[in-house]
Chain A
Amino acid sequence: MNKVLEIKNLKVHFQLKSGFLKPAKIVHAVDGVSFDVYEGETLGIVGESGCGKSSLARALVGLNPITGGSAIFDNKIDLAQANSNDWDEVHKHVQFIFQDPVAALDPRMTIAEIIAEPLQTLYPEMTKNDVMSRVLETMKLVGLSHNQINRYPTEFSGGQCQRIGIARALILNPKILICDESVSALDVSIKAQIINLLQDLQRKLKLTILFISHDLSVVKHISDRILVMYLGNIMELGDKGFIYKNPLHPYTRVLLAAVPVANPELEKHKETQLLEGELPSPLNPPKGCVFSTRCTLADEKCRTMRPEKSVFDNTIVCCHKADYNITKN
């Protein structure tokens, strides 16, 4: 399979303001992650708030600075070294869908203007007629009707606004779609509609999707592979069938066990292992494994040495204590 993104040791660090007698502090939002994204797949990125999943996603479209490592798009452009011309080229192929569909749209622009804007910005040579026919085509693709073209975002519901957001991303015919919590703000019935739409579009247009969410049930439904992050580091990466059935990393296990399932009998008999303590500060991440401060299996080695990647049956896991002796069922 073709790699559309090759990410090596990527870092996103933010420097806090320094002052008199106050040395500069650094937020280690994403602290050296490496993974590949293959053409046509859906890669789910999960983790709790502060794990760096959004910082990573935003860095991939230039909304956050990349402070170290490399991210090579389509074997051509290294996003860490990209100049503004390179970014224009990248934005033609990598598009972003945000969490709050209403806040992401300019209330003073009509739907037609909103959807046409990326096309007019990145392809200024296109004629008005061509742009308009692309707008109509894309609106049809996401299930918006033609007579809504001159309306304003406030006249639409949350679900409809998210369709507009998707249309705006798709009008460029991108290769990669990055969805950052794109369905989290929607009601259950609308959420299902948008998830189905994204899946249909992916099949039709052969899109690669990076799907970021804290909702593990939705991620499981939509993804082919899952990337689990904690405090700016990758904990585990692998096929969804494998990860959800046989989580190797202790953090993945805790995370999955914490998700309440819509089945009262299962919930009653579930033994939840509650996570103790709190997320360490990204200003000063633990020296060894970042999860070691809260892990029940952690020992001296975990606290002093960052675990290396190990590969087990297509699954990458970063843990000294990963349990490889699981029985596959």
Chain B
Amino acid sequence: MNSNNPVLEVRNLNVEFKVIDGIVKAVNGLSFKAYDQEIIGVVGESGSGKSQTMLAVMGLLANNAKVSGSVKFMGQELIGMSAKELNRIRGDKIGMIFQDPMTSLNPYLKISSQMTEVLMLHKGLSYKDALNQSIQMLEHVKIPDAKNRINLYPHEFSGGMRQRVMIAMTLLTRPKMLIADEPTTALDVTVQAQILQLLKELRKEMGMTIIFITHDMGVVANLCDRVNVMYGGWLMETASIIETFNNPMHPYTQALLSAIPSLDAEVDKLHTIPGEPPNLLNLPSGCPFQPRCEKAIEKCQTTIPLHKINPRHVVKCTLYGN
């Protein structure tokens, strides 16, 4: 599945926000690669930096953000690119879908005008051609009776259908990469199952790389090829999905997996992680997880070494290597 050149290569990415109380370190020294047609899951709790990473990739960070490092998309450096150049890439070659489809769609406009706008703007199509392609795409994401329903307003669709409309709209320009920020979190499980199935089919048909942000380990197990586990703005572990679930190395990944109740196993008491996620204004020195970690030693307060278990399984923890 992997060709040699990554579609996305993030290297030593840092994102900081200047606020009244100091500097919020949202993303710290993040590096990862995403290859052709790969689905990467990004998991972590609130404040782990998973959304900020993707906003940085898209150049959509708030004004008070300071970004350093490198983000290369198909060999092209995105950091420092002008908004005009970025606009040619995002929405065209990189698509993004969000958690709440209702807030991403304009409630005053019919689906038809919102969808045709994308094609007329990015591809220079006529309205008629754009409309035809839009209808085709709606059929592609399995919206029944697309020909008539394209003339409806967003509120006339159910949540699941609205998310399909969003996906169809993003796919109109046939992007090389899709960034999905918790797209199924607000949906019911039966609808979620439909959307996950759809994404898996689309990945193959359209040859897309998908970066899927979620906090649900079940969804990751269902959909992804590889997982990035984030905590306190740091990438703690990245591994193939099988290795992540069968052989998690980082104590945080281990704790995260044992804290979720499961449908197929019975436990009397859930494993808990003591304490609370770190304050990004005041991250602990060394490893951010160290104050809550059961296996922490003194060295954890000063260093956060990177250790390669194998070329595709990397973990940041003092327990391994040196």
| Contact indicator per residue, chain A 254-268, by CB within 8 Å of chain B (1) or not (0) | 111111111111110
B257 close to chain A: CB less than 8 A: yes
| CB-based contact A188/B215 at 8 Å | yes
Describe A's contact surface by its main secondary structure: helix
| CB-based contact A190/B276 at 8 Å | yes
A196 with B158, Cβ < 8 A, contacts A221-B261, A263-B221 known = no
Chain B contact residues (Cβ within 8 angstroms of A): what range?
35 or more
Residues of chain B within 8 A of A192, CB atoms compared: 259-260, 270-273
| Contact indicator per residue, chain B 191-208, by CB within 8 Å of chain A (1) or not (0) | 111101100000000000
Could you tell me the distance in whole angstroms from the C-beta of B28 to the nearest C-beta in chain A? 19
CA of A82 to CA of B303, assembled, Å? 64
Could you tell me the distance in whole angstroms from the C-beta of A49 to the nearest C-beta in chain B? 6
| CB-based contact B256/A188 at 8 Å | yes
Could you tell me the distance in whole angstroms from the C-beta of A44 to the nearest C-beta in chain B? 12
| Contact indicator per residue, chain A 134-165, by CB within 8 Å of chain B (1) or not (0) | 00000000000000000000000111100000
A263 with B45, Cβ < 8 A, contacts A157-B276, A187-B277, A192-B259 known = no
Could you tell me the distance in whole angstroms from the C-beta of A262 to the nearest C-beta in chain B? 4
| CB-based contact A262/B221 at 8 Å | yes
Residues of chain A within 8 A of B262, CB atoms compared: 217, 261-263
A275 close to chain B: CB less than 8 A: yes
| CB-based contact A244/B215 at 8 Å | no
A263 with B245, Cβ < 8 A, contacts A188-B259, A214-B189, A221-B270 known = yes
- Taking CB atoms and an 8 Å cut-off, the chain A residues in 177-234 that contact chain B are 187-193, 195-196, 199, 214, 216-218, 220-222
CA of A217 to CA of B262, assembled, Å? 5
CA of A193 to CA of B277, assembled, Å? 13
CA of A265 to CA of B272, assembled, Å? 25
Residues of chain B within 8 A of A272, CB atoms compared: 193, 197
15 further A-B contacts with Cβ under 8 Å, apart from A192-B259, A196-B270, are A160-B276, A188-B45, A188-B215, A189-B256, A189-B272, A195-B270, A196-B272, A214-B188, A217-B218, A217-B263, A218-B261, A221-B267, A254-B190, A259-B218, A275-B193
B interface residues, Cβ below 8 angstroms from A? 45-46, 158-161, 188-194, 196-197, 215-223, 241-242, 245, 255-257, 259-264, 267, 269-273, 276-277
Residue contacts A-B, CB under 8 angstroms, 23 given: A160-B276, A187-B46, A189-B272, A189-B273, A192-B271, A195-B261, A214-B189, A217-B261, A258-B193, A260-B218, A262-B218, A262-B245, A262-B257, A263-B221, A263-B245, A263-B264, A267-B218, A272-B193, A274-B193, A274-B194, A275-B190, A275-B193, A278-B160
A interface residues, Cβ below 8 angstroms from B? 48-49, 157-160, 187-193, 195-196, 199, 214, 216-218, 220-222, 244, 254-267, 272, 274-275, 278-279
